[in-house]
Structure 1
Amino acid sequence: MTRLVLIDGSSYLYRAFHALPPLSNAQGEPTGALFGIVNMLRAHIKEQPEYIAFVVDASGPTFRDDLDPQYKANRPPMPDDLRAQIEPMMAIVQALGLPILRVPGVEADDVIGTLAVQGAAEGMTVTISTGDKDFAQLVRPGVTLVNTMSGSRLDGDPAVIEKFGVRADQIVDLLSLMGDTVDNIPGVEKCGPKTAAKWLNEYGTLDNVIANAGAIKGKIGDNLRAALPRLPLNRQLATIKTDVELDGGPATLALRERHVEDLRRLYARYGFNQALKELGGAGDEAAAGANDASLRNTAAGYARAAQPSDEAPDPSLSVKGDYETVQTRERLDAWIAMLDAADEFAFDTETDALDAMQANLVGLSFSTAPGNGCYIPVGHTYPGAPAQLDLHETLDALRPLLEGPKHRKLGQHGKYDLHVLRRHGIDVDGYADDTMLESFVWNSSATRHDMDSLAKRYLGYDTIKFEDVAGKGAKQIPFSEVAIDDATRYAAEDADITLRLHRVLSAKLAEIPTLERVYRTIEVPLVPVLARMEANGILIDAEELRRQSADLSRRMLAAQQKATELAGRTFNLDSPKQLQALLFDELKLPALVKTPTGQPSTNEEALEAIADQHELPRIILEYRGLAKLRSTYTDKLPDMINRDTGRVHTSYHQAGAATGRLSSNDPNLQNIPIRTDDGRRIRKAFIAPPGRKLVACDYSQIELRIMAHLSEDPALVRAFASGADIHRATAAEVFGKPLEEVSGNERRAAKAINFGLMYGMSAFGLAKQLDIGRGEAQDYIALYFSRYPGVRDFMERTREFAKANGYVETVFGRRLYLDNIHARNQGLRAGAERAAINAPMQGTAADIIKRAMIEIDGWIAGHAEKAKMLLQVHDELVFECDAGFVDTLIAEATRRMSAAAELRVPLVIDSGVGDNWDQAH
């Protein structure tokens, strides 16, 4: 297939300049950014794409400057050392034969976006080479993002979701909410990528987030509402244009002949001797190698200086391993003897699919010491594949090792492997360590916790990537078709690196006993618990969802008919162009919101703005809301029912949120909307089988109770200990009234303060939430602190601890690092201080429910036929049990949940029972 590569030259120039050390050539000219750019260009040219372009920003203003004069206004002047490298960069690009594009009035992003869409439409395979996250909005069939400097790749929605938590078509909305300090786009204060992704997963679009802003609680809700007037402009600024008028299309971007003599002169001048050698005129090869080695060593020195504590303690942990393919029973027995003689070993599985509930086993790998490893292929099916050991015979031989508790088993994200082996008849016992969790507990925000990232950070080791053995994109093959020699290098390395990482990370955790306790007593024991919950799944009433889809469809049709009646003619409600013509040309409604190109917008914000002037915009909004609910939930969930079990099996993630909160996906059951009647109906489709019930047990106001415990405030502790309505009790304290005389408005104000303080809400935010004056809101807060001085003292102590130590801790010792606690930027520093107060409560709540899950799982194992633990959603656990076992389950689960932490106030659990989740909630 014809390939088109679009290189974001402006982005790479800045990134290379800041990523590499300040290198220079013999004449003292700066070369660091140039060095990075040249290596990236050489890598692209080696792949010999048919079409390629190097796209840079033109000088002068763009249409975004017209939209917002403050756009990029805070960018500092280009450093002189960087400016000096632009001219030689352009000379090298031209000498390499790459077309250079600079279009006035737009940014390089818009040129790339236009060419990418055009190329994909013409059937080309388009690669956008960039390090800029904004381009993720362009990922679609035929368009892939590659960061040539880091090696990362986004080639479809699954990859985009893994990196950003949202689909490609939601990236613009994500960026609108987050803002961009580099481009001077103010987003929602304190709204980072995780919060923005959570909102978009719940509400679908920015328009829906805006429409539901009133339902979002706490300080972050205040911040969102304060930012609402700005968000439409943010969306305009963040949207990459795909309709720029260009002199030529993708087919005009053929790679030209390179000018070898110009390149030889430029490479020699700037000391790029390895590149010079490739031209065949490097001269002294030894000198060339030494010079390039000097550049590499200098860069490595800067990387080591940035993270001295992450160097591998033993050089042997960074060397390549020696691996064996096990293809005979004799060698299998030899490895079993070796594994049996070891106190611990690392293991990994290779399969033909990512879904552990449906994947077939292709092979297993093991390691007993750094540098050694084996791979046992059992399911490679490509033509000409060599003979392999029988799957069942192999598993039977390994069963005593894997199912016995004698040996400590090590894994990386081992929950997946436990699932795969369980489905193949092996129930692993003795799963003792998980390097993903060791890294997460050591520092949840230091790095990503996948093996490749951990190996690079903690071992200085570049692992073999899956794409290296299985290919990329549409040409990628399943692991069962990977050549066994390649599979051995990849799979055995996984086991080997897991063991090496464990040696490093376990030593780090041992240095801090509180962290090691969190790891040993909470995270590791939770792995098999989550695996069992995922395997249990939950029963879905597909017919109920189909009925809901049919009802939504009928209401969508009614909305269409009403819209037709109001318009006086038929039109396509899903066509922005037709809506533009109808609303603004025919009905003459005011165009209050514009698109980036200046056209009248028909997005949700635009329709809300004119909904009071005509009935039609409101009908269109109703239609869109129904359509989103149907496509996201009622149509989609039935397709996720496992064909073997008849249930939906979500996947839980322990190493997601820095506070320790669990997240889930495929499907994300934690974001099913429950604020509307239509949303709550979705939960009705989650059902118990005949003769059984669903039981939901939910912690009541757990974070407020943790606040009382941590602050030790006598009045707050007393209020919880009495069992009174905490918000009414707080209002009585603040307003100096008996409980029975507290008014509804006073209780509402107390509730807003109770929850708002945990999220750092200001008097301004409280005033807006309660619709009162700022002075009155400030008086409320002052009254609160006068009645609960322990809360004020706790908040101050926590800020000071965070400033002194760079982190805060949960009750159980989990650390939550605050990178911006000493930031010069006052906004960043204030945000870190707010997080310092909230994180111990969120993190402790996460630890408490995890401890409860471990205890309940241990008890429920003795009643496996009568009850199952199915779901964890925020502070709630959902069970399925025999109808006659409900009272026992509630009593035992409640007791264990209440005893999961010894706080100064009681932990209270609310429970419910029903034939479906909605009834039980």
Structure 2
Amino acid sequence: MPRLVLIDGSSYLYRAFHALPPLSNAAGEPTGALFGVVNMLRATLKERPEYVAFVVDAPGKTFRDDLYPQYKANRAAMPDDLRAQIEPMCQIVHALGIDILRIEGVEADDVIGTLALQGHNDGLQVTISTGDKDFAQLVRPGVELVNTMSGSRMDSDAAVMDKFGVHADQIVDLLSLMGDAVDNVPGVEKCGPKTAAKWLGEYGTLDNVIANAGNIKGKIGENLRAALERLPLNRTLVTIKTDVALEVAAQDLALREQHVEDLRVLYQRYGFTQALKELDGGAAVTAPVAEKEPGRARGTGFAAALPATAADLDPALAAAGDYETILDSERLTHWIDILRAAGQFAFDTETDSLDPMQANLIGVSFAAEPGKAAYLPLGHDYGGAPAQLPRQDALDALRPLLGDAAIGKIGQHGKYDLHVMRRHGVDVAGYTQDTLLESFVLNSGIARHDMDSLAKRYLGYDTVKYEDICGKGAKQIPFSQVAIDDATRYAAEDADITLRLHRVLAPKLAAEPALQAVYADIEVPLVPVLARIEANGVRVDPDELRRQSADLSRRMLAAQQKATELAGRTFNMDSPKQLQALLFDELGLPALVKTPKGQPSTNEEALEAIADQHELPRIILEYRGLTKLRSTYTDKLPEMINPHTGRVHTSYHQAGAATGRLSSSDPNLQNIPIRTEDGRRIRRAFVAPPGRKLVACDYSQIELRIMAHLSGDAGLVGAFESGADVHRATAAEVFGRTIDEVTGNERRAAKAINFGLMYGMSAFGLARQLGIARGEAQDYIALYFSRFSGVRDYMEATRQQAREKGYVETVFGRRLYLDYINAGNQAQRAGAERAAINAPMQGTAADIIKRAMVAVDGWLADHRERALMILQVHDELVFEVDADFVDTLKTRVDALMTGVAQLAVPLEVDCGVGDNWDEAH
């Protein structure tokens, strides 16, 4: 998951100033606070977040000063030595590629709070880098606090409870009672954190403490009653705002490339020797360059394992290119001769749409040697545009070249270009290199594999951006309206940079034979296979989806009517404000979950928490579930039917997950729910045309089989070799019974352990899943490892390998780097260890199904009129097959899927057949 780090710059500057000695550089300039902040920033950037902001207080008053003129009135003026370090701090932050935010009228805390929740709602993992306890009120799943200077971390409500004695949603009330001496907010006299936590533990909320003030005895009770009038104001002052109107959004805060020369000058000036060594000595931190999971090993001993960056490269690779526009057949013939003679060339297409299934070709670019490229415009139609070759004539001239498998083609995310050329009647053969995939296989954990990022990372080259020539937002023009000279500069550069990247990345892969094999034998051959699957598409029944939408609407209406009946009045079920008033004010249900503002929450967690106390929360949850299914699937899928093909065409992403798993988007067909009847009904709308069937072939328990192979555990291997129910066989071994004696609960426990171990499940997690005591769950795990010691030994050996090498590998050599495997922070290290255990299994499963797709596609080449591969979902392949060809396909696909890997236990495939996907699954 991409990560947003919000740095509390004001807090760190003050804390570093007071914590460190009064350091100075050779010129006598103060550097103590600056030194502390720079070290914190370096530590943050080594974790390679995708989005970062450095937030500081703006000068002037805030809304809190208007509410309470004495707010922070006790603070002394900023010391001159500290003031002198602010400007160099900002210079260094900017040079590191981090945005600095100062918003007038609010504090840095409020800006951070707003961006934290916005980023969380946008699906980012949010880290607030601070030493300020006030931010504990924002902690929730997906929002954590990290004190980079001390290394402490607070990432759960349990961690907040452990430190403060209250839940995260009670922090505001705790601070209101205690007061805040730093900000000059007076609390209840003599009420410290323990007393405040005690009251909140007994009464739940500040309002309830106020209501029960008369019941609190002694002097502390008198002090509480004396403070009652100011407590509501205290709550306002200590509550971090999360709704500040900002001109910048969380996803606008992408970490930029560092200004290395500026940093070098600054580090030299202020005497930051270690930072300078890091900058010049090979451990340099650059902006992350495609998606998702933490991956890269950092720290001593791992430098040799990491792909080098632009620092190692020939400066000529960053030089400007010499580009030509092809406007006549003579020059086109000349370039075709150049490309054919080269034996390998890079190419790229320019179109009018991001959807390759509907995009129209505007031009094609080529490069056969670095620094020289050409652009062939075919569809620029602005007024005054020069005459261009007729598109069909140009494509006819290019077809023999592009269709010649003996001449290698190089692309950057070339699957898109293969689609575009196919739509225009040209089947590209010989697609043998893809720079996106070269980068991904070298290090799947880096954040971006797009061409612009790779050019900066590996070439030190700043590319022309699409917005530079087309504009942004409402003023953006289509590529067909771009002046051909500008289009040539942009498009020819794409082909040129793709070729240059290949020249840099290919030797790095060649130096790692296992990675080269993953790239050449798995990833590159898969590109045309995925292109064919996407082009095949899947047929959906819009009438069935409309019927399901109507049924969901009826049930939503019934839920609304039932909710109205339970409430005794009408209300808007989609309005959190109205739900708050109804559930908590009128019905008096307990507000067990709070919003960051301290208001009763009506999110799913909050409603689940009170669903056993009243029927209405359960009805609201049911209504929301139905609404999501309708809006996400039954209403949306008919709109995504391609008008030209009558089918839905998803897009698969090879560089989506660090483990190598494919992901799917537009639409995401891998996340259609199957555990509920409503979810399975949606799969029924994926149908076979008349005379055909859908066949779904699914690997059985593949990751557990991979665990048996990797661990070599005799008991687990024997369970699979016997052909028995592996979970029942495991239970029999663990509990010392015959297979026939194993109870349902024992099998369920064995299954939970079998799968849970691969994902690092703790005794706590197992206890919660099985509904048993934690001690009993721990006994289960201990008993399991005593019977399956090979699994235990494998897991420990894998952790040790990860600690030593900084990465783990799949059976086929795919590599996953682990950022935190030697981290001092226990939670970070434990997370990396869980990834170390899981990645070889999940990555091997990904490799196996990719190999299966290539093998099956090769067999289908002679049967494309009779069968199509139309979907890949996790460990499953789905086919559309002539009814009289089903048995042949099942037999052959089963043999191919089980034969692509030789493991210590046999692979098994389950095949189902039906008129729709649900029947076949």
How far apart are the structure 1 equivalents of 2:493 and 2:525? 26
How far apart are the structure 2 equivalents of 1:591 and 1:771? 25
How far apart are the structure 1 equivalents of 2:648 and 2:24? 55
How far apart are the structure 2 equivalents of 1:589 and 1:176? 22
Q: CA deviation at 1:100?
A: 6.9
The answer for the alignment partner of 2:432 in structure 1 is 432
How far apart are the structure 2 equivalents of 1:188 and 1:878? 42
**Structure 2 counterpart SS, 1:686:** coil
The answer for the alignment partner of 1:408 in structure 2 is 408
Q: What's the CA shift string for 1:138-184, capped at 9, x where partnerless? A: 9xxxxxxxxxxxxxxxxxxxxx78x889xxxxxxx999432324375
Does the CA contact (< 8 Å) of 1:24 and 1:32 recur in 2?
Answer: no
Matched AA of 2:109: E
Q: CA deviation at 1:32?
A: 12
Matched AA of 1:600: P
Identify which of 108, 111, 124 aligns with 1:109. Answer: 111
1:475 and 2:444 correspond: no
Q: CA deviation at 1:23?
A: 12
Identify which of 180, 186, 191 aligns with 2:155. Answer: 186
How far apart are the structure 1 equivalents of 2:158 and 2:349? 43
**Structure 1 counterpart SS, 2:900:** coil
Does the CA contact (< 8 Å) of 2:120 and 2:143 recur in 1?
Answer: no
Does the CA contact (< 8 Å) of 1:447 and 1:453 recur in 2?
Answer: no
How far apart are the structure 2 equivalents of 1:843 and 1:390? 47
Give % identity.
67
Gaps of 5+ in 1: 1-7, 38-53, 64-77, 93-97, 114-131, 139-159, 166-172, 191-228, 251-272, 275-286
How far apart are the structure 2 equivalents of 1:576 and 1:886? 52
Q: What's the CA shift string for 1:28-58, capped at 9, x where partnerless? A: 4569989x99xxxxxxxxxxxxxxxx97268
Structure-2 change in CA distance of 1:81 and 1:847 (3 Å): farther
Does the CA contact (< 8 Å) of 1:57 and 1:108 recur in 2?
Answer: no
Matched AA of 2:403: E
Gaps of 5+ in 2: 1-5, 17-22, 39-54, 65-77, 93-99, 127-136, 148-152, 160-200, 206-235, 248-260, 286-302
Q: CA deviation at 1:569?
A: 2.5
Question: Which stretch shows the higher mean deviation, 400-409 or 82-91?
Answer: 82-91
How far apart are the structure 2 equivalents of 1:315 and 1:424? 39
Q: What's the CA shift string for 1:495-550, capped at 9, x where partnerless? A: 01111110111100110111101111000000000000000000010111110110
How far apart are the structure 2 equivalents of 1:522 and 1:752? 32
Does the CA contact (< 8 Å) of 2:415 and 2:531 recur in 1?
Answer: yes
Question: Which stretch shows the higher mean deviation, 99-108 or 523-532?
Answer: 99-108
Q: CA RMSD in A?
A: 4.2
How far apart are the structure 1 equivalents of 2:595 and 2:732? 51
Structure-2 change in CA distance of 1:87 and 1:852 (3 Å): closer
How far apart are the structure 1 equivalents of 2:79 and 2:699? 54
How far apart are the structure 1 equivalents of 2:240 and 2:825? 29
Q: CA deviation at 1:830?
A: 1.9
Does the CA contact (< 8 Å) of 2:62 and 2:104 recur in 1?
Answer: no
Does the CA contact (< 8 Å) of 1:56 and 1:108 recur in 2?
Answer: no
Q: How does 1:667-686 map to 2 (within 5 A)?
A: 667-686=667-686
1:306 and 2:284 correspond: yes
Q: How many pairs were matched up?
A: 746
**Structure 1 counterpart SS, 2:146:** coil
Q: Compute the TM-score of the two structures, normalised by the length of structure 2.
A: 0.74
**Structure 2 counterpart SS, 1:573:** coil
Structure-2 change in CA distance of 1:349 and 1:869 (3 Å): same
Between the two structures, name the one with larger relative contact order (CA 8 Å, sep ≥ 6): 2
Q: How does 1:562-573 map to 2 (within 5 A)?
A: 562-573=562-573
Matched AA of 2:155: P
Does the CA contact (< 8 Å) of 1:713 and 1:791 recur in 2?
Answer: yes
Does the CA contact (< 8 Å) of 1:102 and 1:108 recur in 2?
Answer: no
**Structure 1 counterpart SS, 2:865:** coil
Structure-2 change in CA distance of 1:701 and 1:866 (3 Å): same
**Structure 1 counterpart SS, 2:893:** helix
Matched AA of 2:458: Y
Matched AA of 2:146: V
Structure-2 change in CA distance of 1:618 and 1:58 (3 Å): farther
Matched AA of 2:141: L
Matched AA of 2:434: D
How far apart are the structure 2 equivalents of 1:859 and 1:837? 34
Q: What's the CA shift string for 1:623-653, capped at 9, x where partnerless? A: 2221111111111111111110010000000
The answer for the alignment partner of 1:601 in structure 2 is 601
The answer for the alignment partner of 2:835 in structure 1 is 835
Q: CA deviation at 1:606?
A: 3.0
Does the CA contact (< 8 Å) of 1:55 and 1:102 recur in 2?
Answer: no
Does the CA contact (< 8 Å) of 2:139 and 2:154 recur in 1?
Answer: no
Q: CA deviation at 1:299?
A: 11
Does the CA contact (< 8 Å) of 1:763 and 1:781 recur in 2?
Answer: yes
The answer for the alignment partner of 2:868 in structure 1 is 868
Does the CA contact (< 8 Å) of 2:57 and 2:108 recur in 1?
Answer: no
**Structure 2 counterpart SS, 1:571:** coil
The answer for the alignment partner of 1:43 in structure 2 is none
Matched AA of 2:509: L
The answer for the alignment partner of 2:195 in structure 1 is none
Structure-2 change in CA distance of 1:178 and 1:597 (3 Å): closer
Q: Compute the TM-score of the two structures, normalised by the length of structure 1.
A: 0.74
**Structure 1 counterpart SS, 2:141:** helix
How far apart are the structure 1 equivalents of 2:477 and 2:116? 28
The answer for the alignment partner of 1:634 in structure 2 is 634
Matched AA of 1:178: G
Q: CA deviation at 1:575?
A: 2.1
Does the CA contact (< 8 Å) of 2:542 and 2:638 recur in 1?
Answer: yes
Does the CA contact (< 8 Å) of 1:698 and 1:911 recur in 2?
Answer: yes
**Structure 2 counterpart SS, 1:409:** strand
Q: How does 1:189-338 map to 2 (within 5 A)?
A: 241=241, 301-302=279-280, 305-306=283-284, 309-311=308-310, 312-338=312-338
Q: How does 1:639-678 map to 2 (within 5 A)?
A: 639-678=639-678
Q: How does 1:695-710 map to 2 (within 5 A)?
A: 695-710=695-710
The answer for the alignment partner of 1:537 in structure 2 is 537
How far apart are the structure 1 equivalents of 2:28 and 2:682? 69
Structure-2 change in CA distance of 1:83 and 1:668 (3 Å): farther
Does the CA contact (< 8 Å) of 2:470 and 2:482 recur in 1?
Answer: yes
How far apart are the structure 2 equivalents of 1:756 and 1:557? 39
Q: CA deviation at 1:590?
A: 3.5
Structure-2 change in CA distance of 1:324 and 1:458 (3 Å): same
Q: What's the CA shift string for 1:442-478, capped at 9, x where partnerless? A: 1111341111111111111111111111111222211
Matched AA of 1:471: G
How far apart are the structure 2 equivalents of 1:394 and 1:724? 62
How far apart are the structure 2 equivalents of 1:828 and 1:61? 37
Q: What's the CA shift string for 1:691-741, capped at 9, x where partnerless? A: 100000000000111111111122221111110110111111112221111
